[in-house]
Structure 1
Amino acid sequence: MKKRHSTKTNYPLQALSIIFFLFLGILVLLPAVYTLCNSFMSPSEIRQYYAAAINQREQGGAAFHLIPDAFSLEGYYMVFLRRTNYLMKFWYSLFLCIAISAGQIFVSALGGFAFAKYPLPFKKGIFFLLMVLMMMPIQVTLVPNYIILDGLNLLDSWLALILPMAFLPFGTVFMAQIFKGIPDEILDAAKLDGAGTFQILFQIIAPITKGGIISVFLLSFVDAWNMVEQPITFLRDIFRYPLSVFLASVNQVNFELSFVCGVLAALPILLLFFFFHEELAQGIELSGVK
């Protein structure tokens, strides 16, 4: 006769787990909520609470002030209509990130398709090197990229940022793993119908792996949006710096607008993940399916 095992719920442990993860969630969300709430302060109110700490005129930190004394859109008005240099940097950075992400998709699709479906010489060794490069920090490749860009006379131009970022190995490795899950019978049937390599890739395979392509776009966009070392290394003209570098100067010159600038800087990333989070999850899932 089989014994029945009764499962008892450990309510104290469950309650502690809920409290712990709730506390962890508050810690994660607090900086974003703090920045958003302070962005609705007037510049005079921000100077009142934070000027002493930012200018280092007294010991200690600034007082934690979450809720504005009076709701104000003056900061947004100044950024959009009075201090247009921020918006110029915003649109310039958006152009750079879209160009980098589009280049990353094109290079990753071609490279990943070749590694997954074609018998290339030394394919395993080259793919292993790509994985090694992918695990290296970006700072390791700054000097080699600088030498190459200097030889091509591309320093201090927007191509100096786009080309190295478009050829990062992550996208190729990621797409190769996805393309390996595509049955070879689909390719063989397309070839029998007279389709060429580019036609197979962009008209047949790309729609099937849309989630993976969107994932590469999102991840490369985030990487490009947050880049700091590359502009400082490859650009001599500070007026060509993207928003990620320009934000540091906001705290020094117009610190009363730093919260508004922080909210607007996070907006593109938040919108992309809000609208395409399902495709991102699908792409990551496809990359793990063999």
Structure 2
Amino acid sequence: MKKKRWAKAVIYAFLVIFAVIALFPVLFTLINSFMGAQEYAQYYGGLQNSLGQQGVLHLIPDRMTLEGYYNMLFAQPDYLMKFWLSLLMCFAIVAGQVVIAVLGGYALAKFRFPGRNIAFYGIILLMMMPYQVTLVSNYIVLDKMGLIGNYLSIILPGIFSAFGVFLMRQVIAAVPDGIMEAAKIDGAGAWRVLWRVVLPNCLPGLASLVILSFIDNWNMVEQPLVFLQDSFQYPLSTFLTQINAAQPALGFACGLLAMIPPVLLFCFFEKELIQGIGYLEEK
């Protein structure tokens, strides 16, 4: 018994240390968002030239101020515009991904047709490929379509997600065939079976897809830099890198508020996310 208690204590201690290390960047951002520009220059000015030159990190502001948040909301109106632009782009991409993933997953999981397994393994292969591998080919196709510099160059490629189709295929495959056959006997067609039988049993998987897709597209960097020609069109994820180094408080405040949407999604749908990911282990 004592050995088991010691083992649990060691595991818990390791987990606590790991949690502190993982949360430190967030806490550091939160604390420094209330620090003034002069105080930042006093304690961290040397970090721009020589890391660690000033000694230790300053974790508690001498005087808390809302200077960064004030500049973000009133002196830097671009932030709010980029924030809402990122939300709209993410909502459009996520909505498209859900439609494509549900239809593709439904077909691969419940329909029998020639080449079904080949298509499924092709999707797995696409999941293994880094996005940068397809970046050039996507650019060429979008350029031929005249979409470079248009928000559609971000949205259209984004709605086709190999992971989304794979996830929904696994989720829908777990739906018992018996209840689907019972619905068909009652006269339900393929569409009604999908909307009335399959989807109500796939809500955790759908929630997982929405959360993971939103976080992925909220943090996208390569696509805007490559497909959009004007920095005025850039979303929030790329705007954060353009904040002047002379305004550190603004950078910390903007970075902190940029975390809020994905964190809220995770907090509200944590249970559904865990259940949805569990389907990947069952099949």
Q: TM-score range by the shorter chain?
A: over 0.9
Aligned mates of 1:192, 1:29 — CA distance in 2:
54
Q: Which runs of 5+ in 2 are unaligned?
A: none
Which position in structure 1 is the counterpart of 2:91? 98
Which position in structure 1 is the counterpart of 2:233? 240
Which position in structure 2 is the counterpart of 1:199? 192
For 2:188, what is the secondary structure of its paired residue? coil
Aligned mates of 1:110, 1:59 — CA distance in 2:
52
1:19 aligns with 2:13: yes
Tell me which of 165, 169, 185 is aligned to 1:176.
169
AA in 2 matched with 1:37: I
**Are the equivalent residues in 1 in contact too, given 2:149–2:230 (CA < 8 A)?**
yes
User: How do 1:29-44 residues align onto structure 2 when only pairs under 5 Å count?
Assistant: 29-44=23-38
Which position in structure 1 is the counterpart of 2:272? 279
Aligned mates of 1:201, 1:248 — CA distance in 2:
43
Change (3 A) 1:24 1:86: same
Change (3 A) 1:11 1:185: closer
Tell me which of 152, 158, 175 is aligned to 2:151.
158
Tell me which of 28, 38, 49 is aligned to 2:22.
28
User: How do 1:52-131 residues align onto structure 2 when only pairs under 5 Å count?
Assistant: 52-54=46-48, 56=49, 60-61=52-53, 63-131=56-124
**Are the equivalent residues in 2 in contact too, given 1:178–1:288 (CA < 8 A)?**
no
1:250 aligns with 2:230: no
TM-score (norm 1): 0.90
Change (3 A) 1:30 1:237: same
Aligned length: 282
Range with greater deviation from structure 2 (255-264 or 193-202):
193-202
Aligned mates of 1:154, 1:185 — CA distance in 2:
46
Give per-residue Cα distances to partners, 1:230-283, cap 9 Å, x unaligned: 111111111111111111111546333111011011111111101110110111
AA in 2 matched with 1:154: L
Aligned mates of 1:217, 1:11 — CA distance in 2:
40
Aligned mates of 1:168, 1:271 — CA distance in 2:
23
Aligned mates of 1:210, 1:50 — CA distance in 2:
47
AA in 1 matched with 2:118: G
**Are the equivalent residues in 2 in contact too, given 1:214–1:279 (CA < 8 A)?**
yes
AA in 2 matched with 1:211: P
Aligned mates of 2:14, 2:51 — CA distance in 1:
33
**Alpha-carbon shift at residue 98 of structure 1 (Å):** 1.2
AA in 2 matched with 1:190: A
Which position in structure 2 is the counterpart of 1:4? none
